[in-house]
Structure 1
Amino acid sequence: MTPAQLRAFSAIARLGSVKAAAADLAVTEAAVSMHIAHLRRELGDRLFTRTAGTLAFTPGGLRLASRAAELLGLQDRTILEVRHAGSGRRQLRIAASTLFAEHAAPGLIELFAHRAADLDVELSVHDPDRFPVLLRTRAVDVAIGPRPAAVEATMTCTHFLNYQIVAVVGADHPLAGRTVGATELREQTWLLGPSAVGRTGLVPSVLRRLSVPDHNQRIFQSQAACVDEAKNGKGIALAVSFAVTKAVAAGDLHRLDGPHLPARGSWNLLALADREAPEAAAELRRFVTTPRATQAMLRGAGVTAGRFRPAIHVTLWS
């Protein structure tokens, strides 16, 4: 099997047709078909058949689709490591949930990267449901966020920090200083960050428990933007408790006590087993549980420009 053959098959599995795979790879349909024919002869399996305008994959084809993604990811990772080794630098790619990326990642990255002069860190934000796939395909080296419902045997999960989500309103909001019930909470305007999108994580869980209707939810580009709107009396914001401690102490925000509030969660580091993970990933897993790391996450001032390379991802809501 060659990388070109695996890329052709992986594109077909991902996109659902030879034509779409050829367009994605910028090659002819004949070239894609030739790669598939070579794989079929070598593996002794049809891999897939065409039925009613769609593709039906054989059990062997489904297994190859999974392995092809892993092998291609490993190839890309190897190329990256060789290039960085030649330049004397290493790179650590971190996938994170939105809450962790905004509130705790900057301090952690600043302190961790400062310990190794040859290390660059890339942070990207993803839905935690995709963490296992990102790790299996070597798209990232570690993933940080809520603990998965099940941890795969080839991966390790390290718990390192507990946190609370609290509901806050501005000082002049009608609910300030009151204990409120679920019905009254549901009727309010909720000011939410990107962590509210999707079904995984603490914020979506709180909204489901309270049965907050969609028309009462306003999504902002960050948790900080939500908190600013709450200070102006525009509604209820869900915030990480340590991020609003000063504002609450100063009287700019008031915490609401009510059902399912505050909500408690934890952040965990997911990685491939030691023999599969890059050295920097194992280093981070050991470091993240230390008191210095915890202090940096709670109080960090951000990472020095040039050491932190964010990967840009855009999410559109309609």
Structure 2
Amino acid sequence: MTLNQLRAFALVARLGSLRAAAAALHISEPAVSSSLAALRVDLGDALFVRAGAGIALTPGGRALADHAQEIVGLADQVRWEVSHAQESAANLRVVATAGFAEHAAGRLLDAFTRRVPGQAGGIDVVVESADDVGSLLQDHAYDVALGARPPRGSQLEVVPFLRYQRVLVAAPEHPFGRRQQSLPLAALLGEPWFTGPAGVEEFTAESGWLAAAFLASSLGVPEIVPLSSETDALAAVRAGEGIMLAFMHIVRAEVLAGSLIVVPVPNTPIAGLWCASTLDRGRAPAAARTLQRFVTTAEATAAMLAPGGSRGVARRGSKVHVALWS
């Protein structure tokens, strides 16, 4: 059994196709078939069978799939850490979901670096979608995830740390801004709903609310208009161009001042929860577990809810390096 064989099998199991795995590995399909044939002989199991246009894993294949990607991911992590040991020792790799990244990540990590000084490599922060977080952690691409809870079923230790509320807001001069009574959902379909670049992400409280409010009642889907950040989306709302689901703690001062109006809509505010996730059973690095504990402290909560200051990154795939205080 070799790493190349496990890598090929892990991709076939994930993508459901030898052709797709070959394309991802930039090798020929016969080369993938040869690796899998050797793995089958070594393990004494067919691992998968052809099923329609794809494959179906055997019981033995499912057992191997549970471990193959983790083994490959750990090997890649070790290879990277060894090759970069001198210049980036002890880097903490953080993946954050979009809303948390834009509105809280910077302030939280600023507070963390002051509380836990001396880590040589600092912290790298990357934004990814909520539905990818679990697999990225299991692939050892990142050490800890902050923000929306990963999909259930992942082999992760998930620690909730901050409850938030989303409210629908509009400008005072917007027709909805003058509404005193609850607005019927059908009335919202003709309005553009501004969001950050990630839109309304799956596996979040917001996506659950939209599905229950609109899709379940067969009303259709609101017009979602992603902008470069939620800050830009809020600026468009202030200009009277549409509405958005905003974090209440972000817009509270403007709501109290009357420069933004909370639109009364059934089943709002939407209650959500931010979580810190790592690999379970002690497989996460010590620095990741330290950050996971820190986010539950009063100091961390105060930092995340404080106005102003460094916030973080907003675009998917963009990366920020946070230097730790010495």
Q: CA deviation at 1:311?
A: 7.0
Q: Look up the match of 1:206.
A: 209
Task: Name 2:129's counterpart in structure 1.
Answer: 127
Deviation at 1:42, TM superposition (A): 1.1
Q: Which residue of 1 aligns with 2:105?
A: 105
1:276 aligns with 2:283: yes
Answering whether residue 306 of structure 2 is matched by residue 301 of structure 1, we say: no
Query: 1:288, CA displacement in angstroms?
Result: 0.7
Distance (whole Å) between structure 1 residues aligned to residue 148 and residue 26 of structure 2 = 38
Q: Please give the residue correspondences for 1:78-89 in structure 2 after superposition, counting only pairs within 5 Å.
A: 78-87=78-87, 89=89
Native 8 Å contact 1:196 1:203 kept in 2: no
Amino acid at match of 2:7: R
Deviation of 1:64 after TM superposition, in Å, equals 1.8
Inter-partner Cα distance in structure 1 for 2:156 and 2:91: 20
**Is the 1:168–1:253 Cα contact (8 Å) retained in structure 2?**
yes
In 1, Cα distance between equivalents of 2:225 and 2:112: 35
Q: What is the TM-score with the length of structure 1 in the denominator?
A: 0.84
- Cα distance 1:246–1:23, how it changes in 2: closer, same or farther (>3 A)? same
Pairing 1:193-232 to 2, within 5 Å after superposition: 193-194=196-197, 196-211=199-214, 213-232=220-239
Which whole-Å deviations, capped at 9, do the CAs of 1:217-249 have from their partners, x for residues lacking one? 333332212211111111222100121133334
**1:237 aligned to which of 234, 239, 244:** 244
- Deviation, structure 1 residue 149: 7.0
Percent identity for Structure 1 against Structure 2? 37
2:166 is aligned to: 165
Q: Contact (CA 8 Å) 1:182, 1:210: kept in 2 or not?
A: no
- Over the aligned positions, Cα root-mean-square deviation in angstroms equals 2.9
Alpha-carbon deviation of 1:30?
Answer: 4.2
- Tell me how far apart the structure 1 counterparts of residues 70 and 100 of structure 2 sit (CA, whole Å): 27
State the alpha-carbon separation in 2 of the partners of residues 193 and 283 from structure 1.
Answer: 30
Cα deviation 1:80-107 (Å, max 9, x = unaligned) = 3334443362222222222111111121
Cα distance, 1:108–1:33 mapped onto 2, change above 3 Å: same
3-state secondary structure, aligned to 2:176? coil
User: Would the alpha carbon gap of residues 68 and 252 (structure 1) be closer, same or farther in structure 2, given more than 3 Å must change?
Assistant: same
| Aligned-partner Cα distance in 2 for 1:150–1:17 | 25
CA shift, 1:168, in A, is: 1.4
**Counterpart in the other structure of 1:116:** 117
Question: TM-score scaled to structure 2, two decimals?
Answer: 0.82
Could you report, residue by residue, the CA deviation over 1:194-213 in whole angstroms, capped at 9, with x for unpaired residues? 45434421222333344264
Distance 1:157 1:17 in 2: 31
Contact 1:186 1:213 in 2 (8 A): no
Matches within 5 A, 1:33-44: 33-44=33-44
Partner of residue 312 from structure 1, selected from 298, 307, 317: 317
Once residues 266 and 55 of structure 2 are traced to their aligned partners in structure 1, the CA distance between those partners, rounded to angstroms, is: 49
RCO (CA 8 Å, sep 6+): is it higher in 1 or 2? Answer: 2
Equivalent residue number for residue 285 of structure 1: 292
SS in 1 for 2:175: coil
Provide Cα deviations, 1:164-223, integer angstroms capped at 9, x if missing partner: 111211121122253232426534512233454344212223333442642543333322
1:183 — aligned with what?
184
Distance 1:229 1:39 in 2: 56
Partner of 2:321: none
Cα drift, residue 158 of structure 1? 1.3
- The whole-number CA distance in structure 2 between the counterparts of 1:273 and 1:95 is 16
Find the aligned partners of 1:26 and 1:147 in 2 and give their Cα distance.
Answer: 33
Q: Distance in 1 between matches of 2:135 and 2:251?
A: 34
